[in-house]
C-alpha cells in the first residue's frame, strides 16, 4: 500500500474547514471520513495512483493551512499540484509539461 503524501500530523494546529454540501447544512466532518478514513488519491497519466491525503479531514486542514498563509498553490512533489479555490475547495491535478508552461 502506498504511503500518503500528507497525513493528519502534516497540518497540526489548523482546524478542519467546515464544508457546505450542496444546499444542505455546513458540516465539520464530511460523510465517509469516520470511522474508517477515506483516502484522497489522484490517478496519474502513467497508470500509477498517488495517495495525496490519508483522510478527507487532512485535505480540509490543508485548505485552512493554505488560506491562513494566503498560499494558492502547493506542490508536494514533481507530479502533483494542489490549488486552493477560495470558498470552494481544493483542486488536485497532475503537473504536466503543458500546465507547467501556463
The H or E element containing residue 27 is strand 26-27
Four-CA torsion 59, 62, 68, 73, nearest 10 degrees: -110
Mean pLDDT score across all residues of the chain: 82
pTM for this entry: 0.77
Identify the pLDDT of residue 17: 65
Please, are residues 58 and 78 in contact by the beta-carbon 8 Å criterion?
no
CA dihedral (9, 14, 18, 21) positive or negative: negative
**63 within 8 A of 90, measured Cβ to Cβ:** yes
* Residue 20 or residue 56, greater confidence: 56
Amino acid at each position: 500500500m502506498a504511503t500518503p503524501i500528507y497525513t493528519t500530523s502534516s497540518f497540526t494546529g489548523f482546524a478542519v474547514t467546515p464544508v457546505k454540501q450542496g444546499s444542505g447544512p455546513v458540516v465539520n466532518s464530511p460523510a465517509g471520513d469516520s470511522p474508517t478514513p477515506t483516502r484522497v488519491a489522484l490517478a496519474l497519466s502513467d497508470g500509477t495512483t498517488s495517495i495525496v491525503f490519508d483522510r478527507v479531514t487532512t485535505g480540509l486542514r490543508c485548505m485552512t493551512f493554505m488560506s491562513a498563509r494566503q498560499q494558492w498553490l502547493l506542490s508536494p512533489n514533481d507530479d502533483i499540484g494542489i490549488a486552493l479555490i477560495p470558498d470552494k475547495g481544493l483542486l488536485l491535478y497532475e503537473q504536466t509539461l503543458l500546465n507547467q508552461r501556463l
